[in-house]
Chains A and B, each alone.
Chain A
Amino acid sequence: MSYKIPMGPYHPALEEPYKLDLICDGETVQDAKLHIGFNFRGIEHLAETRNHIQVIALMERVCGICSNIHTLTLCNAMEKLTNLTPPPRAQYIRVIMAELERLHSHVLWAGIAAKLMGFKTMFMTCFELREKVMDVLQAISGNRVNYSMNRIGGVNRDITDPQAILKMVEALELEMARTVIPIFTTSRTAISRCAGIGVLTTEKATSCGVVGPVARASGVPQDIRRAAPYAAYAELDFDVPVQPAGDVTARLLVRALEIMESCKILRQALAKLPPGEIHTEGEKFAFITGTATARVEAPRGEVMYSVSWKEGSRNPARVHVRTPTFAIMPAIRWMVVGQRLADTPLIQASIDPCYSCTDR
């Protein structure tokens, strides 16, 4: 006899509210239905009531983890509508902020995954490391969550002492290479809880259109930083880690390897940081009529903004946001089918879902 178990919208295993109705036969999940919308704030509609400065502050609040990515994508789109090109130094600072945010997001996720595995010591280790990443972000921007770094035509704050930031990044890299990555990739606790569970095949990942680390952990080598480079990524050398297995271990490995790649990118960007202005100084600009679209590789995958403006208008006519979790979440259904009920919290967490982003 099958029975339905509701998980959420408020559940200890969920970071944010959403609901998973699990149809089970004994301990085995037969099917699942997802319900979202508990964080719906109507941000896309609110954006139509904000001017070009206010809308950046608004969109920074779409997500508390990848707030910088949202303003970066929005500014990239608005720059296409104003024909402004940020100076090279600003492009490098944007890369540095984006990679620090990826580090912070991946380490946060590793901590939560450790907690769900029943690996509390690792949870504390990850959160201690995350604090150090946030210290770097605070040292650059003065803020720990909403950094207010991006503006049309550049960034708001400079990195005055790249060497100091570089030292912090090197210390982080060392600790990640010494503790986090070996433990996650070799510990029996991690392997026994993650290997072979929540599999998303390459075919299913492709047909569902999943993005980011989840796609790469299913053997889909897709990364916007490589496929359609923005900011200064075209000038930097990095690898795109791909794992074919599609299980929770593969997602863990991809993110662990991405942490190391982010550190590699950060070292290069800090070393190459060109001199000059950080934004287009004193240049007057006006919006042209039309729609512009920008895509950025956020920690969870591709974010896309479509911004529509009418010349002479104070506010955008339309802002549409396609977030990575919106593309990935429907695939949870295929990951949990046939799995044990007890594994579903870890499987849903393994996509690193962000419901604030999804609901907007």
Chain B
Amino acid sequence: MTSTISLQEVAEQLGITEPWVETGGVHWLAPGAKSVRELTAAMNALHARFITITAYELPKDEGFRLEYHWDLDGQLLGFPFVLTTKSIESIFDMCEAVDWIEREIHEEYSIDFTGREYEPLLLRQGDTTGVNLRDMVAASKENK
């Protein structure tokens, strides 16, 4: 399903006054006080297609940044959320497509997507989450 709504109208529907910023192939909008679930409800109403979440570990224990991406009529939308704690609401019950990427991020960064149950880990066996390969590579080099 296609939508003819403009990005400005999308921001107005969300009640966000910040302007869209287009950079690096993405239309970015800072969600401000909007929660990820409010954002998902708005994207669902627009029939936008969920693509992925990209997780970034911020330097110096500043936490994490999760970038949520949707496609709206070929336009790539991005919404960044900075997490100071390792927790954010899950949108799995609202957006089925998010299942595996939430599970992958939970496993790799130990970020808890609250309000959902996790099936056994996606990529590795065992109970360990938050396996930081960057640290492991550095440690193995030191051991050599």
Chain A residues proximal to chain B, CB less than 8 Å: 33, 35-37, 40, 42, 45, 48-49, 76-77, 80-81, 206-209, 222, 224, 226-228, 290-295, 302, 304, 306, 308, 317-318, 320, 322, 326-327, 329-330, 359
Contact = CB atoms under 8 A, between A and B. Distances in A.
Contact of B97 (A80, A209, A294, A308): A209
A327 B69 contact: no
22 contacts: A33-B119, A35-B120, A37-B122, A40-B123, A76-B25, A80-B24, A80-B25, A209-B96, A224-B74, A227-B74, A228-B74, A291-B26, A292-B23, A293-B24, A293-B25, A293-B76, A294-B25, A306-B54, A320-B54, A326-B100, A326-B101, A330-B100
Contacts of B133: 42, 45
B76 A228 contact: yes
Interface in B87-133: 95-97, 99-101, 119-124, 133
Contacts of B55: 320
B97 A77 contact: no
Contacts of A224: 74
B25 A318 contact: no
A295 B73 CA distance: 14
Contacts of A77: 24-25
A306 B51 contact: no
Contacts of A293: 24-26, 69, 76, 78
A207 B119 contact: no
Given A35-B120, A48-B134, A308-B56, A209 B25 contact: no
A329 B100 CA distance: 9
Given A40-B123, A327-B97, A290 B23 contact: yes
Interface in B47-106: 47, 49-52, 54-56, 67, 69, 71, 73-76, 78, 95-97, 99-101
B5 interface: no
Given A207-B96, A293-B24, 7 more contacts: A37-B122, A45-B133, A76-B25, A206-B49, A320-B55, A326-B100, A330-B100
A224 B133 CA distance: 32
Contact of A304 (B51, B73, B97): B51
A209 B76 contact: no
B137 interface: yes
Contacts of A329: 100
B96 to A, nearest CB: 5
A289 to B, nearest CB: 11
Contacts of A48: 134
A253 B34 CA distance: 44
Contacts of A49: 137
B138 to A, nearest CB: 10
